[in-house]
Amino acid sequence: MLEALSYDFIQNALLAGILVSIASGIIGSLIVVNRMVFLAGGIAHTAYGGIGIAVYFGLPIFLGASVFAVLSALIIASITLKHRERMDTFIGLMWAVGMAIGVVLIDLTPGYQADFMSYLFGSILAVSQADLWFMGGLLGLIVSIMTFWYRDILAVSYDSEYANLRGINVPFFYTLILLLSALTVVVAIKVVGLILVIALLTIPVYIAEKLSHSLFSMMLLSGLFSSVFTLFGLWFSYEYDVASGASIILVSASSLFLFLGVGKIRG
Amino acid sequence: MPIIEIKNLSFSYEKQTILENIDLEVQEKDFLAIIGPNGGGKSTLLKLILGINSVKNGTVRTFGEAPKKNLAKIGYVPQNTNVNTDFPIKVIEVVLMGHIGTKRPLFGYANEEKMCALGALAQVGMEKFANEKIGSLSGGQRQRVMIARALCAHPQILILDEPTASIDVEGQKQIYELLEQLNSHITIIVVSHDISVIMQYANTVVHINKTLSSHEISNLKSEKNDHFCEVELFKKFKEKK
């Protein structure tokens, strides 16, 4: 294992794993407390349409996926703010259509089939320098937004009606949470793939929620757990030569069951 | 001048009329109880006073102005405070939400805001629980925290929507005694189903079921020689004056 650390791509993978884990710990906490898990799933799958478009037109993949994810977040925000009762139907629709666009455009791209699986299940070992900059930039953005607007985001998440009465712009912060979720989903796709994104955004968060007295400590713990699971998953994937994304999720899920089991025994 | 003045107010969702020709004046330091059947429009009336719903027919004035201008002067305790109890939030953070945010620093909360929130918690006797998770409190304790949140902004009017709906008898009594105490300097408006309890504290009762009828408590008490049957009383409230 130690000699592996001297490879550039392993170093990149470890750094990417930690950056994405912290980002998904913070945003995953917001997604869970706001009951937006299904929304995040919708955004992740819609983003696949963006990947298809980027591949077909030869654009950078991250760019395509980000633009598509951000657009879908804006559409979902405007729908849920106006027609909350029809929200699940619209998200299901976008989920399926986004995937379909992605699949068709990748099929139409001449000679391109090889990397198809890497977007579904992640390709953390293929993280480039540019990807790392993107991940670091996003984490910086998330941390600064949370620092400046923590109290507003907390108020909107806990009790949006009351937040509105206190003069907080609820639609703005709701949209902001969805936008940050969209961008986090895009970088998490690189690590675990879009099918497993939801697990990365929820499993560490679920454990952290049980141990936390405040949203802040929940975010901190989620980021920590997520980093540990990701690094351990990477080691497992290297040692036994199995897919990295799935290894990370299995490590996370095993930890969750262990956590729940210990909780049960202790009563 | 009345601090809340409602004239000829009607309100409907889609085509269903919820409130019709409501006239109501609330004076400073009143203790007003609002009773009536579920779906009769009680909560809607509160939301119109708070400016959550906008007035289309008639007028609502708080402190002589449109409701949205005076949010800081009105404290509100919403109906169901038992939702979202899994949320990882400390009691003190819930109370801090009550600030309107005019003195906010660049990050987090100002010391002044924290002191004020602790003061509000002390007022409702919950200062010991400041760092507990909100979900670990009982229903009655949680309700008192929500009252502290409303008191945080030093309101002149406190509006409570069924504050004792899911609280045991002892907890209910504590909450009403707290409200009575606060009433020495704050106007109180409370929506409630506990008619017999509310009679001890309120000075005016209005019954709302689409339309409104109003009753002075003192008159009712003298009519009945301080002894009254709840059912008779309820019938009386429903009568139009």
**For A118-132, B120-134, B154-168, B214-228, which range has the lowest pLDDT when averaged over its residues?**
B214-228
Spell out which residues of chain A touch residue B97, defining contact as CB-CB under 8 Å.
151, 154-155, 158-159, 162-163, 166
Spell out which residues of chain A touch residue B76, defining contact as CB-CB under 8 Å.
162, 165
Residue B13: predicted pLDDT = 83
Reported as a pLDDT band with limits 50, 70 and 90, residue A226 is very high
Reported as a pLDDT band with limits 50, 70 and 90, residue A265 is confident
Does the beta-carbon distance from B87 to A167 stay under 8 Å? no
Residue of B76, B131, B132 with shortest CB distance to A165:
B76
Residue of A151, A164, A218 with shortest CB distance to B88:
A218
Residue A28: predicted pLDDT = 96
Q: Which long-range contacts (CB under 8 A, 24 or more apart) does A140-146 make?
A: A141/A180, A141/A183, A142/A23, A142/A26, A142/A27, A142/A180, A142/A184, A143/A26, A145/A176, A145/A180, A146/A26, A146/A219
Spell out which residues of chain B touch residue A212, defining contact as CB-CB under 8 Å.
88
Residue B230: predicted pLDDT = 61
Query: Could you give the CA distance from residue B111 to residue B105 in angstroms, rounded to a whole number?
Result: 9
Residue of A151, A157, A214 with shortest CB distance to B90:
A214
Please answer whether residues B217 and B203 qualify as being in contact, where contact means their C-beta atoms are separated by less than 8 angstroms: yes
Average pLDDT, chain A: 90
Does the beta-carbon distance from B86 to A209 stay under 8 Å? yes
Domain boundaries, chain B: 4-238
| Closest Cα in chain A, distance from residue B215 (Å) | 30
Reported as a pLDDT band with limits 50, 70 and 90, residue A136 is very high
Residue B137 forms contact with A (CB below 8 Å): no
The pair phi, psi for residue B188, each rounded to 5°, is -120, 135
Length of chain A: 267
Whether B227 has a pLDDT exceeding 60, the answer reads no
Q: What percent of chain A has pLDDT over 90?
A: 54
Cβ under 8 Å to A: B residues 178-237: none
| Complex ipTM value | 0.85
Q: What percent of chain B has pLDDT over 70?
A: 86
Average pLDDT over residues A1-16: 84
Matching CATH number, B4-238, of 1.10.10.10, 3.40.50.720, 3.40.50.300, 3.40.640.10:
3.40.50.300
Residue B213: predicted pLDDT = 79
Average pLDDT, chain B: 84
Residue B89: predicted pLDDT = 93
Residue A21: predicted pLDDT = 96
Q: Which long-range contacts (CB under 8 A, 24 or more apart) does B113-120 make?
A: B116/B152, B117/B92, B117/B148, B117/B152, B118/B92, B120/B95, B120/B148, B120/B149, B120/B151, B120/B152
Q: Is A196 helix (H, G, I), strand (E, B) or coil?
A: coil
Average pLDDT over residues A30-38: 92
Does the beta-carbon distance from B89 to A168 stay under 8 Å? no
- Catalogue all structural domains in chain A, each as residue range(s) with its CATH number: 2-266 (1.10.3470.10)
The Cβ of residue B127 has, within 10 Å, a number of other Cβ atoms equal to 16
- CA torsion sign for B11, B13, B18, B20 is positive
- Looking at per-residue pLDDT, the higher value among B55 and A252 belongs to A252
Residue B233: predicted pLDDT = 66
